[in-house]
């Protein structure tokens, strides 16, 4: 059995991963880390700080906050365990750090663990190839009113994929407000909607003369990400180091 430690176990996603692992024949949760959760609420050991952890996992699944990165990575390197980083909102410096840590341990990092969103990203790349530069691209993402970061990591990942198809000639414009905001041709607009209990919806609009093509994905339950995280854990546990993402995992499924 693959031994999993869930970082951020008390959160919405942490609880879903715990639930998912209860019904898994190949991986098991041996504990969790959460700075703010009540350990008594869990039937596995839960630690507030990395220094307190007294279990040795094969892999960590992280759904916490960017400020957990450093202690998490220190623990992973010292104990030679693999990491699935699902948390979003990392700074540029932290992304550089993650790259450096991946020289020592295997890290799986993705802004979105849903297979459907990764298909959407691939379709957006195709749309740019097909439509060329005469269509304006705008991305609209919608999430629940408790989400801390915006735009979502997924919206940014979709925007980056689209921009790659434009040879990175576009610049991102986050929302529009004011009297001097006429759209320029080199923009990819990114807009964040927040409210209620929306799990996560992403739309990419390719807007041309007299027509709009919309590619969209809607997650209807957070369980889809938990299933993806467990799948990623099973994938990354077989690697010794390097930075891996959903495209690598999908490649193994397609083969």
Ligand X SMILES: NC(=O)c1ccc[n+]([C@@H]2O[C@H](COP(=O)([O-])OP(=O)(O)OC[C@H]3O[C@@H](n4cnc5c(N)ncnc54)[C@H](O)[C@@H]3O)[C@@H](O)[C@H]2O)c1
Residues found in the chain: 255
The burial of 106, by beta-carbon neighbours within 10 Å (0-12 exposed, 13-18 middle, 19 or more buried), is given as buried
Candidates 8, 31, 57, 189; binder of ligand X (CB under 6 A) is 8
Catalytic choice (143, 191, 202, 244): 143
Q: Is 147 an active-site residue?
A: yes
Nearest CB to ligand X, comparing residues 20 and 68: 68
Candidates 4, 20, 30, 34; binder of ligand X (CB under 6 A) is 34
Residue with tokens 């279990």: 55
Minimal distance in Å, beta carbon 181 to ligand X? 28
Note whether 55 and 82 are within 8 A (CB): no
Catalytic choice (12, 35, 147, 160): 147
Does residue 186 interact with ligand X by CB under 6 A?
no
Nearest to 58 by CA among 19, 6, 114: 6
Q: Is 143 an active-site residue?
A: yes
Q: Indicate left, alpha or beta for 196 from its phi (over 0: left) and psi (-120 to 50: alpha).
A: left
Strands, sheet with 82-85, edge to edge from the N-terminal-most edge strand: 46-47, 27-33, 2-7, 59-62, 82-85, 106-109, 242-244
Minimal distance in Å, beta carbon 167 to ligand X? 27
Site string for ligand X, 85-124 (x = CB under 6 A): -xxxx--------------------xxxx-----------
Q: How far apart are CA 83 and CA 63, in angstroms?
A: 11
Minimal distance in Å, beta carbon 63 to ligand X? 4
Nearest CB to ligand X, comparing residues 58 and 62: 62
Does residue 13 interact with ligand X by CB under 6 A?
yes
Minimal distance in Å, beta carbon 143 to ligand X? 8
Q: How far apart are CA 196 and CA 154, in angstroms?
A: 19
Residue with tokens 């703010």: 36
Site string for ligand X, 143-182 (x = CB under 6 A): ----------------------------------------
Nearest to 170 by CA among 192, 152, 185: 185
Note whether 61 and 233 are within 8 A (CB): yes
Site string for ligand X, 63-92 (x = CB under 6 A): xxx-xx-----------------xxxx---
Query: Active-site positions?
Result: 143, 147
Chain residues in the site for ligand X (CB under 6 A): 7-8, 10-14, 33-37, 63-65, 67-68, 86-89, 110-113, 225
């Amino acid at each position: 059995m693959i031994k999993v430690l869930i970082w951020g176990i008390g959160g919405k996603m942490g609880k879903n991963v715990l639930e998912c692992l209860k019904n898994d024949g190949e991986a098991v949760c041996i504990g969790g880390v959460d700075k703010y959760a009540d350990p008594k609420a869990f039937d596995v050991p839960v630690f507030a700080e990395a220094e307190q952890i007294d279990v040795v996992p094969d892999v960590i699944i992280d759904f916490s906050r960017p400020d957990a990165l450093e202690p998490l990575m220190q623990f992973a390197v010292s104990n030679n365990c693999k990491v699935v980083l699902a948390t979003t909102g990392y700074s540029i410096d932290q992304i550089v750090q993650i790259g450096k840590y991946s020289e020592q341990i295997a890290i799986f990092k993705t802004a979105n663990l849903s297979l459907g969103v990764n298909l959407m990203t691939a379709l957006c790349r195709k749309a740019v190839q097909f439509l060329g530069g005469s269509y304006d691209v705008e991305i609209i993402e919608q999430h629940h009113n408790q989400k801390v970061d915006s735009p979502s990591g997924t919206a940014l990942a979709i925007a980056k994929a689209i921009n790659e198809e434009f040879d990175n000639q576009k610049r991102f414009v986050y929302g529009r407000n004011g009297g001097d905001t006429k759209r320029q041709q080199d923009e990819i607009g990114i807009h964040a909607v927040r409210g209620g209990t929306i799990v996560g919806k992403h739309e990419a609009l390719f807007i041309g003369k007299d027509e709009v093509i919309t590619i969209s994905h809607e997650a209807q339950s957070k369980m889809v990400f938990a299933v993806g995280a467990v799948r990623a854990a099973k994938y990354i546990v077989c690697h010794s180091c390097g930075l891996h993402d959903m495209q690598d995992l999908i490649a193994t499924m397609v083969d």
